[in-house]
Amino acid sequence: MPKNKTHSGASKRLKVTGTGRVLRQKTGTRHKLEKKSSKLMRRLAGTVEVAKSDAKRAKRLLGM
């Protein structure tokens, strides 16, 4: 039986913690930054956990 390949797009965007939770970056920080306030940019900084409904799919893409 062949090895399963990790989805390369998912591996660049998602990270799995030691406890098995899947983390992602917040959206909206790539372009058109001049019109976005500093307050908004601070709120969009950092990582958050993937929604529970999407976590199963995300783990499957990562080969878990």
CATH code for the domain in which residue 13 is found:
4.10.410.60
Sheet holding 15-16, edge to edge: 15-16, 22-25, 47-49
Helices (H), the chain: 8-13, 38-44, 52-61
For residue 24, is it within any domain? yes
Question: How far is CA 56 from each of CA 1, 8, 17, 42, 43, rounded to the nearest angstrom?
Answer: 23, 17, 14, 29, 26
For residue 1, is it within any domain? no
Q: How far apart are CA 6 and CA 64, in angstroms?
A: 9
pLDDT digits (tens, 9 = 90+) for 2-37: 999 999 999 999 999 999 999 999 999 999 999 999
pTM, rounded to two decimals: 0.83
Task: Tell me how many domains the chain contains.
Answer: 1
For residue 52, is it within any domain? yes
